[in-house]
Each structure stands twice: as structure tokens, then as C-alpha cells.
Amino acid sequence: MSLHDYRRKRRFDRTREPEPGAPPRGARAIFVVQLHHASRRHYDFRLQVGGVLKSWAVPKGPSYDPSVKRMAVEVEDHPLDYAGFEGDIPHGEYGGGHVARFDTGVWATQGDPQAQLAKGHLRFELFGRKLKGGWHLVRSSKPARQPQWLLFKDRDEYAGTLEADDLLADVTPPPAADVARAGRGKPRKRRLAEVAPPPVQRRDWSAAARALPGARRARFDGGAFELQLARLAEGPPPGEQWLHEIKWDGYRIAAGVTAGRVRLWSRNALEWTRKIPEIAAAIEALGLQDAALDGELIAGRGSREDFNLLQATLSGEKQATLALVLFDLLHLDGWDLSAVPLLQRKALLAQVLEQAGPHLRYSSHALGDGERAFELAGEQGFEGIVSKRADRAHHPGRSDEWRKSKRLASDEFAVVGYTPPKGSRSGFGSLLLARPDSTHGWRYAGRVGTGFSAELLADLSKRLPKGAAKPSVHVPPDDTDLRAARWFAPAFVVEAFYRGIGGHGLLRQASLKALRPDKTLAGLSDVERASDGKRGQTSESEPERKTAMKRTAAKSKTAGTESARSKPADAEPASRAVKTTAAKRGGAALARLDDFRLTSPARVVYPDIGASKRDVAAYYLAMADWLLPEIGERPLSIVRCTQGAARPCFFQKHHTAGLEQVDSVNLEEDSGDHAEYLVVRDLDGLMNLVQFNALEFHPWGAKARSPDRADRIVFDLDPGPGVAWPAVIAAARQVRSLLLDSLELQSFVRTSGGKGLHVVVPVNPGCDWELVKPFAHSFADTLAAMEPLKYIATATKKFRKNKIFVDYLRNGRGATSVASFSLRAREGAPVAMPLRWDELGRVKSGHAFDLHSAQARVKRLRKHPWAGIDEIRQDLERVVERLQRLRPDE
């Protein structure tokens, strides 16, 4: 409802501004500032609060001078997609004029932002390239047609004399006409592209590090490193040789510094530097040359109650100030400290952190008297303590030298089923839990039926598969209370509190602590487990675990061989690349759907045909050998439909937490910022995206290793109202003929899965986008000039009746087009299908193939319709000049 005014003021058939859609989830809350030359020049200042961008118009832009308070007029909320908008709003439309991105990043605040805004004073931090540090928005008491606020800088280390107009070096300039109408702004002497961090006072720590016993000279590259882990214990160990720390409730983070630059890593060696920029900046401010630090990322106090706040902040649902609590130092300014006793490592760490800012904290400790430390931790609302041998070196992995004691024990478990609800409860009664077992693969561990909020209960009820009556894991005998239970394969991970282990190794008095989307089912083999009534002991030895893993692998291989027997002999993979993948991984035909994690498999994705998430996953598994060569090794955008194809979906192009099997490539964006783009390299990556509800796959026309060199050009023939399908076929043939006869360029054709056809031109060797985009534009213009009653080369909808839009806009750096064999998020589950030119006339529409018929077609194919496309050599630079001769005389 908050976007009602945004919709009301715009006509989306006349402006390129984004229509409101489903807000993307899974990333931190953002801010964006845009320079807008409308009727008057101003800056648009926007903060993500929930699923919208709260927005203010700031005529003179933000100032770094805390004494300068800039008027900020509150305007309508904008959709989150508006953060990526840049370009011209047509004159005569609301806000007509040029919009340029000025800065963007993540932001945080201490407390509820909605409550602060309601009270009229929002204190917040910005983590952008240009806007950094603390800021204030204070509502003015002056009566006005629109609420007026004052935007001003906090008196922090970033405060100074910079103005927004000093930071326009990389901002796209507006057209001269817009400048003449809206104003140029006050001339400034400084032209900067970003704000440098405050000067760092470097201190040489090498002498202090060298003096520690066991220190040795070594280089450190700043990459991920192995962490020491704690075993679960019954209680704190006695003795003065133990130090005891608070057990912080958050995410483990390893920080690596090399040449003064910081990289942050999760426990699973996923890079989090861009996810938590305030932590990276705080560590850089320490002035270290190189270092390896170990800590826990927390929100609030880092207590048990704050863990959900941390998760909500990282997913963008809330904004909280984050901090990294540091408890170990393993390398410092050229010296490896891993062999130094822990107590002396911590003493040096405390010195390093003496001048640290609010985003870094030192994890203090008590020597000896662990029982008292455990009692105090409980009194202060913490889950427990971690006890560490103060006199020992660092040992990667789990050992008894680090032990954690919890007031309530907690572990991570796989969800494998549920019981029916009773009484007034709806959805389910309890979740059934399991953990890895050396003999049976998975063993039932008990149930959890408390700790669910009403919202979480409703959400999980929709996501849980229907299940079957037969247990999917080993269940100990004599548990007669599971007769009505529904079971399914291990689906996702939760963390649960419990008060000990009862008979048959089942949890006693379990309650839900949290969902753990950051943990994988495979990772549970590394979780300390409680069994046989003894916490802190694993249920199998390391050799037994490895034997079980080998046994599981052998079963998978046998099952895969059975599956392989049904593979059609004439189904040839699309290229040598996928043959290599098939040889290395066994191919999609050797994989089973049960080999991949799939939550909520019964959820309906295409309601008009009743196709479920499992049907979608089965489709992509069956088509993987054909699809992977189309999307593999390329930067990729996906269309995610978390509520099914009939509900709003959204594009995603950046890597996010939970995509452990999906690779990424760091690419520079138009704004000059860098971001991690999705890259699929194998079947696991593909199915990981399917698990995350990806329906459509849209690759770049370039490889990830050379993103500035295009190797494919796509012309999308999009029929407007009144254009019959035979005319679209004739258009594709005309484009092919024009390309081949006049430019000697071979091309290929596919249905788009929508209304039209794509004509695809391979370019090998690749060429710069600066050549490809003008070529595609010029070709489209030429076609429209040759037959103006048939074609149009502009996207304006009102001019497209009875014409075919030759869409060339998919041929720029960062632009994408749908991949061959990809499903579309439309009624009927249509598929973009590559064709031979000689079969085009037999196809009835652009959506002639669907989830079922596409698989049947592939089984009949003796070779790929585009066989040999990667071997065709077409140098675009040699043919561009010929295009000029195609233009009709003026």
C-alpha cells in the first residue's frame, strides 16, 4: 500500500522507471542517492526500510559539515528496484528529467527505523563510496504541504567540508537542456569519485609479535584460513590453565589483512567482505600491514535473543548495528603467531584493539573458576561460555582444547518430517529431526514443537512437503507416538535447544532456536553431536565417518548407473564442454533428484498446469546436459519466483548467502562499484539455484573470464498487437537472409518461450561491447528503415501495433537474454527452445514447447539443433563496414 502514490503518479508505458514488483530478499538493507535534474536540480536520498525505499528530495545534497543542515522534503516511497534506475524520465511525465546514480551501499541503525522515523529523529550509518559514517534525519516542526526534514552529518571521523557537488567525477552528466532548465549547481573546485577513509595512523607491530614465544616469520596472503573449533561439554573444566569467554551468538568470521586491505570470510570460506563493509572498514582503520584475526559477527549484545536480529539484518528485513567480537590473533605484521600460547596471543590482540571503533570489540576472559564464569554468563542472558586452554597453540579443527558449555544445549539437525497439529494449532504439531549416522546414513533424533512464532509456523507449513507414512531415516524401535507422522528426505537445517539426551538417543524438551539457512546438510557431519546420553562426544569416530561417506557414495554411484540405462542413445550433448562435464561428474543422466537438497518439493509453481517445485527440479536435472553449455562460465541473471510463477517474481544477478555451490565473478558495474555476479560452473550450481526457486536463466553474451568481449549477439523479434505468427517466422528468415547474404554472418534461431523468436549470431573471436552494441542498433535501425510498416526499432509500446519490435538492447555489457532450454515464468511453463532453420515453419508459436514437450523433443534429437555454433569463426570487425551499404539512400 505504501507504493500506491508511486504507481498513481506514473504511467509505465511512457517511463522506464520500474514498476513495483516483489521486493528481493536475502541481502542487507541498502541506501541510494540519485542526482535528479527535474524542474529543479536536487538529490533524491533513499533508505530501504522493509520492502520499500523511504525517500527525501534534498535540493543541495548532503553535506559533510555537521553544522550545515540540509532541507530534505519527504516524498512518496519508491520500490527497491528504483535503486538501479538511471536515465531520462520523459518531459511532461512526473519528475521528467535526467536521473543519475550518485552513490549506493548498505546502511544500519541502532533500533527500529520505523519507530525512529515516527518520533521524528533517525540516527543511522551509511557505508557507500561517497557517503560514509553517521548521519541524522530530524523532522522539522514547520507546517508544510509535504513533511520536511533536516539531513546533517554526525560529528565523527568523516566530518569535514565536502559537499555532494564535490563528488560528481564519475556521475553521468545530464543533457544540456536539462541543465539549462533545472540548474547546474554551485561550481566546486573538487571533482572526486569517492571519499577516502580517514587517515590511518600505522603502527609497526612486528617487534611486539616477534617477541612472543613460538612466533615465526612468515607471509600471509589474506585468504581464508582454518579455524579452531570447540567441542560441546557437560560443564566448564576446572583449573587455572583454562580461560573462559562468553559464548557469542552470531556467525564466525575470519579476517585476513594483506598490504592493509581486508578480506572477510565465513567459517565455510565464503567471502563476506562486501556483505559487512563496516567491519572491513573498522579493521582497515587499525592500520595493520597484514594480519589474521578470528571472531564472531554479532548484532546487539550478541546474546541468544540477538541472533534473530542478526539474521534479519543480513537478510534486509531489519537494520541493526553489527560488530565483530575478536578473540584470537594468528598472524601480525609478518609474523605467524599460531604456535604462540593463546593467552599471549590475546594479550597482543587487546593492545591492537585499544583504539578500535564501535564495530570491533575485544572478547575478554576470566582465568580459572569456570563455574563462576558460567553462572555470570547465564545471569547476563548469554547462552553459555567457551573454555580454552590458555597455554596452548592454535590447532585447526575441533578438539578438547576448546570446549563450550551451554545452559541449554543446542545442536543443528536436519528436518526430515512433521507430526499433525493438535487442538487449536494449525500447520503441523512438531518438526521431526535427524542427524548423520555412521550405520544408517541418517538417524531420528527427536522432535521440536515449541519456539515457533506464529509467522514462522505459517511460513513453514506452506513450505513443508506432504511427505509419506514410511520413515525416510532410521527410527529407533518402540517409539509408538509417530504413527501419524509424515516423513521426507532431509530438507533443511534448524538449530534446537534441548535439556539432555533420553533413551534411544532422543532429545529431551527440545525447543527451536533458529532456522539455519547458512548451514548445509553436508555440513552436519562436522557438527559436534550428542548421543548415548553424553554431550560432547560424537556418535562415530573419524574412520567410521569416512567409511560411511564412502558407503553413501557407492550407493549413489549404483543408483546413478541404473538411471543411466534409461538415457536415450541418440541424445547428444550440445558441445564438447558438456561432454567434459558429463565425463567428470557422471553427467546429469547419472544424477538423481534425491541427490540434491530440495525444500518444499510439493509446492505448486505453475498453478495452471499443477507443476510443482519437484517437477521443475526434475526438468532441469533432465535438461542439464543441454542447458549447462548455454549458461555455464557466463555471468548470469536468474528470475526467482519464491511464491510460484503466478505471483510476482524478481531478477537476481548478485551472489547471496546460501548459494554454496554457485560460483561468482567480481565485475565492475556502470556505477564504478564492483559486485559478485552469479556464475554456474556445474550441475551442483544449477540445482542450487533451482532450490532457491530460480525458474529462468539469463546469461550474458560474454564469458565470465572475459566479460568485456562479446561472443554472441541476440536479436529479439517481439511482435506487437495484431502481428500474426507467420509474420514473425517470415521476419526471422528475413533477418537470417540479410545477415548471411549481405554480411556473411551465420545465425541461429530459437523460440523465446514468449511471443517471439530470437536470432542469435555467434562472434568468434569475441569483440568489444563498444562495437557490438552500435552494430546491433544500426542493424535494427536499418531493418526498420527498409520496411517501416513491418518493423520498429524503438521500444515505445504505443508505436508497436501491427509491427515487430527488433529488440537490440540485449547486446550491451551486463545485458542478458534468456538461455536455450530455460523455462519461463509464464502460464503453461513454456521453454525457450533452439531450432534448426528448416524446422521453423512447423513451429506454431513462440511458446510451442513446455516443461513436458521440451523433454520429449530432446529425447528425439540425434544432435543439437545448433551443433557447431562454437566452432564458427565470425569476426565482426571485418563486416561492420558492410552494414553502411545496406542503408537506403536518404
Bridge partners of 710?
Answer: 702, 767
Going by C-alpha positions, the residue among 162, 158, 159, 170 that lies closest to residue 188 is 162
Q: How many whole angstroms separate alpha carbon 686 and alpha carbon 683?
A: 5
User: Mind spelling out the 3-state secondary structure of 595-646?
Assistant: HCCCCCCCCEEECCCCEEHHHHHHHHHHHHHHHHHHHCCCEEEEEECCCCCC
Q: Is 247 a catalytic residue?
A: yes
Backbone angles phi, psi at 155, to 5 degrees: -85, 80
Residue type at position 453 = S
Q: How many whole angstroms separate alpha carbon 488 and alpha carbon 463?
A: 12
Instruction: Give the other-Cβ count within 10 Å of 255's Cβ.
Output: 25
- Per-position DSSP letters for 443-482, written without gaps between them: EEEEEE-SS--HHHHHHHHHHS---BSS-SSB--TT-GGG
Q: How many whole angstroms separate alpha carbon 40 and alpha carbon 179?
A: 9
- Cβ atoms of 136 and 145 within 8 Å: the answer is no
Residue type at position 790 = K
Q: How many whole angstroms separate alpha carbon 552 and alpha carbon 564?
A: 18
Catalytic residue among 60, 132, 247, 613: 247
Going by C-alpha positions, the residue among 630, 816, 792 that lies closest to residue 713 is 816
- Cβ atoms of 431 and 447 within 8 Å: the answer is yes
Q: Is 316 exposed, middle or buried (0-12, 13-18, 19+ CB in 10 A)?
A: buried
Bridge partners of 474?
Answer: 443
Give the SS3 label for residue 83.
helix
Contacts of 715 (CB under 8 A, 6+ apart): 735, 758, 759, 760, 761, 776, 779, 780, 806, 807, 808
Q: How many whole angstroms separate alpha carbon 631 and alpha carbon 488?
A: 31
H or E stretch covering 217: strand 216-217
Q: How many whole angstroms separate alpha carbon 577 and alpha carbon 628?
A: 9
Instruction: Give the other-Cβ count within 10 Å of 598's Cβ.
Output: 21
Phi/psi class of residue 586: alpha, beta or left (left: φ > 0; alpha: ψ in -120 to 50)?
Answer: left
Q: How many whole angstroms separate alpha carbon 830 and alpha carbon 820?
A: 12
Q: How many whole angstroms separate alpha carbon 303 and alpha carbon 431?
A: 25
Pairing of strands 441-448, 430-437: antiparallel
Pairing of strands 384-389, 366-367: unpaired
H or E stretch covering 715: strand 709-719
Contacts of 399 (CB under 8 A, 6+ apart): 228, 229, 231
Whether a cis peptide bond, with omega within 30° of 0, leads into 765 is yes
Backbone angles phi, psi at 365, to 5 degrees: -150, 165
Q: How far is CA 452 from CA 184, 426, 456, 472, 498, in A?
A: 56, 12, 6, 24, 15
Catalytic residues: 247
